[in-house]
Amino acid sequence: MKDESVPVQRKRMGLLQWFFLAFLIVGTVWILGRRQSSPGTFQVTSGKIFGTYYTVKYEHDQPLDSLILQELEKVDRSLSMFNAQSTISQINDNVTHRVDSSLAYVFALSQKISAETEGDFDVTVAPLVNAWGFGFKNADKISSAVIDSLRGFVGYQLVDLQGDSIVKKDPRVMMDFSAIAKGYGVDRVAELLNRHSIANYMVEIGGEVVVKGSNPKGKDWLIEITRPHEQGMEMAVTDDSKILLEVKDIAMATSGNYRRFYLKDGKKYAHTINGHTGYPCCTPCSLPRC
């Protein structure tokens, strides 16, 4: 008499094996899908550059800190007023008139903005910035006569780029690209990250910011903006004066006169200088523009 239960048992074992194999395949696909959809590894690097601080956060499996620093140091060697050996410092000291590619680009852009704003933006305001004590010299004894004398060699029309050289109409003309150098540095780092196909990042240098994609939590980036309250001659920063912005795929620049100013003879003098008048602007702060 034959035992017919053996083939049945074999069939059951075969079905169980197939079910187990299918379970493994489905489970593996699910795990891989979870890994691909969940946020990856975010790298963070920070330091000091251009006389201020920078922070870069980006999603990548390998750190790119050295490449980021190299990119920033290129800009520093070209445009930084805090580097005595930078190209712009050498041009201001009349040691050379030759420009590098970074300075040539930023100079052309600055001249374009100066023309569009009729001189409201002017990189040749450096002598006035120094005279008021916001550059690299202590404030001189300011008078209308001193201001008038300095205004004689302030004006974007006094400098021109001819070939690879800056031509000054007066050797006393000095340029300060601090208002645009940080933003240019942010752009250079963002371009570096884009070349590495990085989809999510935040680059910030001294209040100049660019963000792309999502933050480490998979949400829009949160950028804090300070809106100080005026208290007498000073500006107070409290918790309720801070604004959180949710942003994505955007660049933003901030500036405020509440950080760099001094009080003298009952008057407040801030670091934003009007090149037309030679005097500091009275606006207490400027909010971000995108």
The pLDDT of residue 289? 39
Q: Where are the alpha helices (DSSP H) in the chain?
A: 5-37, 65-79, 87-92, 101-116, 126-131, 144-151, 178-195
Please, which residues have CB within 8 angstroms of residue 211's CB and are 6 or more apart in sequence? Answer: 201, 202, 203, 221, 223, 247, 248, 249, 250, 251
The mean per-residue pLDDT over the stretch 175-203 comes to 96
The pLDDT of residue 30? 42
The mean per-residue pLDDT over the stretch 21-39 comes to 45
The residue with greater pLDDT, 175 or 269, is 175
Cβ–Cβ under 8 Å, residues 288 and 254: yes
Asked if pLDDT for residue 269 goes beyond 60, the answer is: no
User: Which of 30-34, 94-98, 172-176, 245-249 bottoms out in mean pLDDT, i.e. has the lowest?
Assistant: 30-34
For domain 42-289, the CATH architecture is: Roll (3.10)
The residue with greater pLDDT, 219 or 146, is 219
- The domains of the chain are located at 42-289
Please, which residues have CB within 8 angstroms of residue 173's CB and are 6 or more apart in sequence? Answer: 124, 153, 154, 158, 159
User: How much is the pTM?
Assistant: 0.75
Please, which residues have CB within 8 angstroms of residue 246's CB and are 6 or more apart in sequence? Answer: 219, 220, 221, 222
Question: What does pLDDT average to over the chain?
Answer: 79
Termini Cα distance of the chain: 89
